[in-house]
Amino acid sequence: MTKSNKSAKRPTKKTGMLEVRVSPEEKTAFLDACRAAGRSASAVIRDAMRAYTSFGPMARAQGSPIMIASAFAGATAGAFLLVQFIQSAEAGDAERLYGFDTFRAYAVSTLYDREMSWDEYRTRAGSLRDVMEQLAARETENLPYHLRQTLGSRSGEVIGSIFIPARLDPGVFGDELDRVSAGCWAVLEAYRLEYLLYRFESWDVDSSGDVSAREFSDARFRSFSRGFSLEDKDADGFITAADLSPAVVQAWSEAREAAPQPPVAEQRPRLDRDAVAVACAAEREWSAPQPRISNAEYLQEPPQGEAPPLLSAAGHIAARDINGDERVSFAEYLASSGE
DSSP state of 328: B
DSSP state of 338: T
Average pLDDT over residues 96-100: 85
Average pLDDT over residues 184-206: 95
Residue ranges per structural domain of the chain: 23-96, 97-255+268-336
**How many DSSP H helices and E strands does the chain contain?**
17, 2
Q: Contact at 8 Å (CB) between 45 and 31?
A: no
Please report, rounded to a whole number, the percentage of residues in the chain having pLDDT higher than 90: 34
Name which of 303, 336, 156 is nearest 327 in CA terms: 336
H helix or E strand, kind and range, residue 210: strand 210-212
Q: What's the chain's length in residues?
A: 339
Helix (H, G, I), strand (E, B) or coil at 224: helix
Task: Please tell me the predicted confidence (pLDDT) of residue 19.
Answer: 72
Question: Does this model's pTM top 0.75?
Answer: no
Task: Please tell me the predicted confidence (pLDDT) of residue 162.
Answer: 95
**Residue 199 pLDDT exceeds 60:** yes
Mean pLDDT estimate for the chain:
77
